[in-house]
Structure 1
Amino acid sequence: MAEKITIGELHLSGCTGCLVTLADNYAGLFKLLDDYADLVYALTLVDVRHVPEMDVCLVEGSCCLDDKLSVEELKEARAKSKVLVAYGGCAAYGNITRFCRGGQWNQPGHESYVPISEVVDVDLYIPSCPPCPQEVRNVAVMAYLLLRGNAEQKKLATAYLTPLMQLAQRGNEACGCDLMYEVINQGLCMGCGTCAGTCPVRAITMEYGKPNVNRDQCIKCGACYAQCPRSWLNFDVINNYEGIIGAIKGAMQ
């Protein structure tokens, strides 16, 4: 077996739901840690106080610009990781923290929250609030195959990770209007309702089989666009679907 990769999780301003999702992989997490990855940094899960060198860093939560320590830790994580991942809606798009006015008892001045790409370069997004455990597992497996696998495995990993990288390149702003312009207006919407189900402020309702966006209520967190199965997923994944699923199942056996 090839050398394991190192993975860390940096927690910034968020609800810790993404960290819970990481732990919710249960037996899958033990398999990952046994064979493919060493978890070298994570809030409550690893007794390490300073950001170490790592192959992949999952950054959870948005960055508070009023918190000097958070900004410094984020920049340090960028410098010490080969791949930096915006892990969850707050890290990728700011989510509801962009509209937060702080209110912490110990530091009530914290009120300027931004997606982490406003501070450092981000390699890929794992969107949603929170991401599903399977997606976290899949990205970890594909990162291992990309960094340690053979030529065929690297090809599959590249196909899987490329859309997530393209999502990061697209930027940190998205809203319900993107669904209208890039999905519905293009005749791609299949009326599945995923966008309505994932909206954290319930700004989307399904009307006659299609999403209806309340623009006044929309907080432009990007959750709906990132979760829409017809928005950003590309044909590299679709054409290699069986190989990708086979690689993931083979790795987890």
Structure 2
Amino acid sequence: MSTSSEPNQNIRGYEPGEIAAKGCVTVDIVIADLGVTLQALIDSQYVDSKTMSHRPGIILKYLPYLYDGITGKLLTGGLYLFDTYEDAKDYIRWASEEFEVGEPKVKFTEQPMFKSFTDQVWKTWSCSEPDAEPKLQSLYAKVKNAAETGNAASVWLLYDPSTRKVGLQLAFRKQGVAEPSAAARDLRDAGWTALGDVLSQQLHLKPLFDRTGVLLTLWLPRSRAAGGSELAIPYYPVVPDISHNYFRGSTH
């Protein structure tokens, strides 16, 4: 059975416009066993979200999915937005040191299903150069306008002060109907580098990686708190809805 017959309906608590967020967490996970099905991956993250999406300050999470056709790696993880930078840091501390899953219990980051787990905490709307604040303030306005023109549904401008990395997270609107060919077209069209070029020229950056991929689910804690849906599945029914017939041990 499905947890909901209409997984993308009744979303509450989120309005278009600026989000008062000061912290972000990005997590990259390589799945060790390519025998893990898409259904199992969606169900697994749903089980975890029942606890993780209640952490202090969390606003939303994007769950990405990317199969690397060259290396054969299955990549997933998450992009989490938080009220404060401190909440973002505490989330990683908790997820790495305290949160346990499965039977027998293991640390979340040490699951056998994970070949590798890397995380990073970011500040939003900042930069590493000496004149960081005024420069980024002007750049963010340009980034936001360019993102809207390019049909992006959201844009996050991120900075990690410990490593002096700048991050750009874009989410794009789904085009057309939810079918495999449309999903493939959306993924191709999302390979948009104009904003990255602007940032690189203005801040003298070097590109480190590109994680363009389909978003499987969106965690929506504010919607749940408002009595609405707790998550959305953008590409349903191309990707499956959550199933109750899931046991974590079956994927190990």
Tell me: higher relative CO, structure 1 or 2? Use CA pairs within 8 A at least 6 residues apart. 2
| Category of TM-score, reference length = shorter chain | under 0.3
Higher helix share: 1
What TM-score do you get using the length of structure 2 for normalisation? Answer: 0.26
Greater strand share, structure number: 2
